[in-house]
Structure 1
Amino acid sequence: MDTKAVFAALYSVCEENATFFSAGGKVSQADSAKRLVESMKLIQEHARSLEPVISGFAAIYHHFDFDPLIPANGYRSLVKVVRCCLLHIIHKGRYIAANRRSIFFRAAHNAGEMEAYCSALCQLRALLYLAQRMLHDNSHGNLFFQDESGLSESFIREYASMHKGCFYGRCLGFQFTPAIRPCLQTIAIGLVAFGENYKRHQSGIGVAASSFFTSGKYAIDPELRGTEFERITQNLDVHFWKTFWNITETEVLSSLASMTSTQVKVNRALSVPPVAFDLPLAANHRASATIAPPSAHIGIAPIQMRLISYDLREGQDSETLLSMSRSEGGAISLSLGLKTKRLPSSPFLLIHFHGGGFVAQTSKSHEPYLKSWSQDLGVPILSVDYSLAPEAPFPRALEECFYAYCWALRNHHLLGWTGEKVCLAGDSAGGNLCVTTCMRAAAFGVRMPDGVVAAYPATLLTAYASPSRLLTLMDPLLPLSVLSRCLSAYTEKQVERVSTLSLVKRDTALFLRDFRQGASNWIHSLLDSNRETDPNISRDLSSVAIPPPAAEEGIELQHPREFPLGFEPLRSDQFAEMKLQSSPVFKDPFCSPLLAPDSMLKGLPPIHIVACALDPMLDDSVMFAKRLRSVDQPVTLCVVDDLPHGFLSLSQLSKETKEAANVCVERIRAVFLQDTPPEPRKHRKLERTDRGVSAPSGERGSLLVGSIEEEEPAVGREAKSAVGEDSVSVTAQNNTDAGGVGA
């Protein structure tokens, strides 16, 4: 995109409107006219300071991409969000210029709109300054700033005091595709109404009922909504978020979701007895490893799972499986009579680990898209309901996911699966558990899955700063205060007596000590005292990153303080309750796979990562993909554009989220059918106006199948004409025959 054209259009429309309203125009509301003039002038001031900064980032951010064909990293995302904000202002300014003489022109409303985007632009300017310092201080060019006492601490401090309400009112979700914004607004309204009634009722459904009647005021007053949203996200504890995120699992809402989603023949909740069993070693089938039931924190207990299958297959109605079934409120009762057609066992099985920040949700929350996947792929799906933090922190969830994986291998005949090919899939926290389950399977020496599909996974469970994590200041689904509470709940249980592992909790030491002799080479690399205590444990990250370019490439990096003199971001009336607490547990490679030594990453199955360009966790995906590539592990990275973190749970709400979910389906199908994903066919021609060439659609190890439109948001024809640029677009293709892998 021509950055100069964007800023020229912005200066022009602001100057024109400021001149008109300064002269009085035909607007009778003098106060509103004054507000408009002040907003226009302040927007121009911010823009003049931002123009050289954005140009500087545009000159260097390609150095941090995973691949030249996949332009995605946190620096790009920050610049994209700023450009998106500028284009919204241009679009709004052109609307004002075209309608300001009308008798129906609402001066006060439009003044409020411009003030909101002006505030947003001010805060985005602050984030770019923080990103500049990140480039300057992070000498190795990593996306993560690996020093808790440095910039990471500064970011926590700035986040706690910076004003965030402007991003949750009129500007809510401005950076995302227009199709998803009404959904985000509904979620935000529901959240603030839920928070208002949270302390007044005991049950989640009671809070929801009361919230329904109080949500109207937040729908009509965006400023009130933004203020309340900021208060809630800053100060309510993790138990509030558990309750809110689990509201979709109440009987009424879950029944509604079941009726509107794909109907399947099998949807059975299972409770598997915690019994130890043996599995043969992958390298020597005559030897075996003992798989003990999970025991960390809450003791030995049954493991909860859910079996979903579009078709009834052999074994899925067996007496053994029926004996493990558990009843649940609101579940659809399935009556499988003698006339029900039973298909042969499928050669493929998908094992799914759900997201929810390690603290909330179950397989029931993810049922809608899992049912759709079962139909599209024609395979049974086993989704694991692992125990949740803070009651069951690390490593309990990993223990249960690994046990469930091994149980599925041993009992494939009960799941309608022949035992041939198995793929792990998960989103967010579930993506983390997919990778760490593979690492534990390697440590035990048992069979590895045939592949992993991880959607926007969390690979570094710490408060380390990165450019994409700066987006937590404005993200409506993943604010930094909420993210840090979830990660703390999973990793920061009180550390007991420190064993020879030094930085690892007693429970972690116990489950590591259980590894079989056949996997001693993996254990050795983990228990190496030098590697465990070395503060530079993540030194491997710098080896795969490209050093930052010299200052002459166009960006100023000389800012010893957070912000240049003469500028301060807007501050909040009340500070967030933020603490920089990072338990040493997060450095355990089974907790943060990004910090794993090379020896633990070698031998993992092919890993397909589907990330979001505007996700605060984007850098987790980019850096982990780089780590895997650096040790010659098969990995693909797909980046979808203009969608928020957690798009799988929203996959039924818009064409864009549906296409992004289909990208995950195609990655899973590729695991089942072949070693490398097929080259995608595109709905629209790929045009790269910023480089003047058409990028190939994919290659081994780096296949771009998402929509990457880094330069321009969809804000209407007026904003587009103000810039005069075509966008970059690669749309996911999903015309492969549905159910092709399961028949």
Structure 2
Amino acid sequence: MDLHTMTQSLVTLAEDNLAFFSSQGPGETARRLSGVFAGVREQALGLEPTLGRLLSVAHLFDLDAETPANGYRSLVHTARCCLAHLLHKSRYVASNRRSIFFRTSHNLAELEAYLAALTQLRALAYYAQRLLTTNQPGRLFFEGDEGLIADFLREYVTLHKGCFYGRCLGFQFTPAIRPFLQTISIGLVSFGEHYKRNETGLSVTASSLFTSGRFAIDPELRGAEFERITQNLDVHFWKAFWNITEIEVLSSLANMASVTVRVSRLLSLPPEAFEMPLTSDPKLTVTISPALAHTGPGPVLVRLISYDLREGQDSGELSSLAKSEGPRSLELRPRPQQAPRSRSLVVHIHGGGFVAQTSKSHEPYLKSWAQELGAPILSIDYSLAPEAPFPRALEECFYAYCWAVKHCALLGSTGERICLAGDSAGGNLCFTVSLRAAAYGVRVPDGIMAAYPATMLQSTASPSRLLSLMDPLLPLSVLSKCVSAYAGGETEDHSDSDQKALGMMGLVRRDTALLFRDLRLGASSWLNSFLELSRHKSHTNSVPMAGE
């Protein structure tokens, strides 16, 4: 259904429902339903022209004819999803409003929630149109008058965002993902209620379960609390929340359900400079120094994961770098004693907004990758912000990458194909490590697998940034806190920043497991295709990006 037809159908149904409920007397419920449908008619009629103008020029911002996607298209799509839901609900009301089984309060609450969302989407569409008319032709990111960006940020603070995190949470996505998003949001607001409280043991579990149930049955309360948390709590809260998966109990459960590998070893790379050959002339070398920023030289922790025990991985030289993690450092299982070195190596850099998580959080899917790819994986545990802001993480990742290239034989690989892989902040570090390798003149990775990488960290207005208003996982306010911490702008005193992660989340929901499985399989499939590509060709010095 095209936009005009959808809008006209919605307006017709809204007027019909408005007339019906206006004739039902002075009751509060009838008055509110009349007000809702009057508002739906007004917002739909006001939104259609703006969306039409955005659609008329959206094709100018596509990457190419085969890739019809950009922030303007996404904003229009989101608004259409909201209009479609209101159209469906209005039809239902028109057909069932006289029935004795009509759930008046439930339908009223849903209509009010989606009307609030539509109102905010109309405001976003207005700002998108303003960006379009003010920006240089063909530019997605605004460049020019800083006053417009400041105005946008001020208006962003005044917009009502809670409506997108309650009853309407994830309406713009496929229905299959909504239970997962609800699990995350309920866990987040429950966690927020117990943040910084001195609770331990069973009391945390009991209180969190109670709180989770309250937010599960009251989506409006959940939305309001979600907005309060995302707007007001500092980066240390998000560090604690995202590190929930680092808790020993949860990480143990995740590892129990994951693939069993022969090698999972935490290594500590000593802060010692070494020489690397130049790709232009291998007879010449360049010195790779350890990370120095902020805290001076220090070891870099990396985790080696390999499905099979391969040549070099049980060497005395590698064992001397091992950092004890108990009995799980070297997992044994009846398999051939030693496999030959793999032709490939994956160097992994985890995500977490530059402020949270380690390779331990990502180990379960990395084990699956190691099995499916038949290649060892080295995951880097870089120092985290705000304690270690830029460029510490970049320096450590570059040092570890160069060490892996130089010592790939110890890691169980011949190094014929080396791929960098990372998500979010890790994707950013994959790109910057590659750029630094090119600048140093040393071997660059043969490919990069970057999942939703952070590549534009400036506070520049764009249509996609407008959509971050309703992002269920990383709203703009949270992203700005992480970027500020990474850039060294987090200056608050947090003497009690060692709070323990309080509250519990239902992380074993079926939908959550399915989502992470699909993400893992998709990335693994790309990596497998990449490592197979040109298996019998010599490597080059180019850096192909994911999706090219």
TM-score if structure 2 supplies the norm length?
0.90
Deviations 1:455-491 (A, max 9, x none): 1111121211111011121111111111101000011
Do the aligned residues in 2 keep the contact of 1:651 with 1:658 (CA within 8 Å)?
A: no
Alignment of 1:510-589 (within 5 A): none
**Residue by residue, what CA displacement relative to the aligned partner does 1:611-635 show, whole Å, maximum 9, x if unpaired?**
xxxxxxxxxxxxxxxxxxxxxxxxx
Match of residue 96, structure 1, among 90, 93, 115: 93
* Aligned residue in 2 for 1:535: none
- Residue 396 of structure 1 and its aligned partner are, at CA, apart by 0.5
Residue number in structure 1 paired with 2:497: none
Structure 1 stretches of 4+ moved >4 Å: 202-209, 337-340, 649-652, 654-661, 700-704
2:264 matched residue in structure 1: 267
| Pair 133,425 (structure 1): closer, same or farther in 2 beyond 3 Å | same
* Structure 1, unpaired ranges of 5+: 496-576, 578-648, 677-699, 705-743
The reply on whether 1:225 has 2:222 as its aligned counterpart is yes
In the alignment, is residue 456 of structure 1 matched against residue 452 of structure 2? yes
Q: Distance in 1 between matches of 2:45 and 2:516?
A: 36
Residue equivalent to 1:473 = 469
Deviation at 1:17, TM superposition (A): 2.5
Is the CA contact 1:204–1:244 (under 8 Å) kept in the aligned structure 2? no
Task: Give 1:259 deviation, angstroms.
Answer: 1.5
Aligned to 2:427: 431
**Structure 2 residue 302 is matched with structure 1 residue 305:** yes
Q: Identify which of 358, 362, 373 aligns with 2:358.
A: 362
Q: Which residue, out of 163, 166, 169, partners 1:172?
A: 169
Deviation at 1:424, TM superposition (A): 0.5
Q: Distance in 1 between matches of 2:380 and 2:511?
A: 22
Secondary structure at 1:306 match in 2: strand
Where does structure 2 lack aligned partners over 5 or more consecutive residues?
493-507, 536-543
Asked if residue 197 in structure 1 is aligned to residue 194 in structure 2, the reply is: yes
- 2:533 aligned with 1:674, yes or no? yes
Q: 1:209 to 1:373 in 2, by over 3 A?
A: farther
SS state of the match for residue 412, structure 1?
Answer: coil
Match in the other structure for 1:665: 524
Match of 1:350, SS state, is: strand
Change (3 A) 1:651 1:457: farther
1:319 equivalent to 2:331? Answer no
In the other structure, the counterpart of 1:391 is: 387
TM-fit CA distance, 1:378: 1.7
Higher mean displacement: 251-260 or 109-118: 251-260
In the aligned structure 2, how far is the partner of 1:444 from the partner of 1:309? 29
The alpha carbon displacement at 1:213 in A equals: 3.0
Kindly provide the amino acid, as one letter, of the partner of residue 24 in structure 2: G
Q: Note if 1:346 corresponds to 2:342.
A: yes
**Structure 1 residue 390: deviation in Å?**
0.5
Which amino acid in 1 is paired with 2:81? C
In structure 2, what is the equivalent of residue 682 of structure 1?
none
Residues in 2 aligned to 1:650 and 1:325: alpha-carbon distance in whole angstroms: 35
1:285 to partner: Cα distance: 0.8
If asked which structure has higher relative contact order (CA below 8 Å, sep 6+), I would say 1
Change (3 A) 1:203 1:400: farther
* SS of residue in 1 equivalent to 2:416: strand
**CA shift for structure 1 position 175:** 1.1
CA contact (8 A) 1:370 1:381 kept: yes
* Partner Cα separation in structure 2 for residue 276 and residue 204 of structure 1: 45
In proportion to residue count, which structure has more helix? 2
1:411-463 deviation per Cα after TM superposition (whole angstroms, max 9, x unaligned): 11121111211001111111111111011001111111101111111112121
Separation (CA, whole Å) in 1 of partners of 2:384 and 2:76 = 36
5 Å matches for 1:77-116? 77-116=74-113
CA distance in 1, matches of 2:75, 2:278: 47
Aligned-residue offset at 1:284:
0.7
Following superposition, the deviation at residue 15 of structure 1 comes to: 2.6
Q: Alpha carbons of 1:701 and 1:248: their partners in 2 closer, same or farther (altered >3 Å)?
A: closer
**Structure 1 pair 44–661 and aligned structure 2 pair: CA distance change class (3 A):** farther
Return the letter of the residue paired with 2:527: I
Q: Which whole-Å deviations, capped at 9, do the CAs of 1:195-218 have from their partners, x for residues lacking one?
A: 111121378998666423322111
Write the distance in 2 (CA, Å) between the matches of 1:651 and 1:455. 23
Q: What percentage of residue pairs aligned between the two structures are identical?
A: 59
- Alignment-mate amino acid for residue 664 of structure 1: A
SS of corresponding position for 1:294: coil
Distance 1:71 1:268 in 2: 44
Q: Distance in 2 between matches of 1:85 and 1:204?
A: 43
Per-residue CA deviations over 1:99-124 (Å, capped at 9, x if unaligned) read 33333322111101100000000000
Inter-partner Cα distance in structure 1 for 2:331 and 2:524: 29
Given candidates 62, 67, 91, the residue that maps to 2:64 is 67
Secondary structure at the counterpart of residue 414 of structure 2: strand
CA RMSD, 1 decimal:
2.7
2:125 corresponds to 1:128: yes
- Distance of aligned partners of 1:404 and 1:159 in 2 relative to their CA distance in 1, 3 Å threshold: same
CA contact 1:313–1:342 (8 Å) conserved in 2: yes
User: What do residues 245-286 of structure 1 show as CA deviations (whole Å, max 9, x unaligned)?
Assistant: 001110111111112222222222222211111111111111
| Residues in 2 aligned to 1:298 and 1:651: alpha-carbon distance in whole angstroms | 43
TM-aligned CA distance change 1:656 to 1:192, over 3 Å: closer
Distance 1:186 1:278, change over 3 A: same
Return the offset for 1:657. 6.0
The 1-side partners of 2:436 and 2:477 are apart by 30
Contact 2:405 / 2:415 at 8 angstroms: preserved in 1?
yes
- Give the match for residue 653 of structure 1: 512
Counterpart of 1:9 in structure 2 is: 9
Distance 1:255 1:184, change over 3 A: same
1:651 to 1:491, Cα distance in 2 relative to 1, 3 A = farther
Q: Determine the C-alpha separation between the residues in 2 that align with 1:337 and 1:166.
A: 51
The two structures have a TM-score, normalised by structure 1, of: 0.67
Query: Does the 8 Å CA contact 2:141/2:461 hold for their aligned counterparts?
Result: yes
Aligned to 1:46: 43
Task: Give the SS at the match of 2:266.
Answer: strand
CA contact (8 A) 2:261 2:331 kept: no
Report deviation, 1:675: 6.1
- Show the counterpart of 1:21: 21
Q: Deviations over 1:496-525 (max 9, x none)?
A: xxxxxxxxxxxxxxxxxxxxxxxxxxxxxx
User: 2:153 is matched by which residue type in structure 1?
Assistant: I
Q: Do the aligned residues in 1 keep the contact of 2:303 with 2:379 (CA within 8 Å)?
A: yes
The CA deviation string for residues 369-397 of structure 1, in whole angstroms up to 9 with x for no partner, is 22222222221111111101011111001
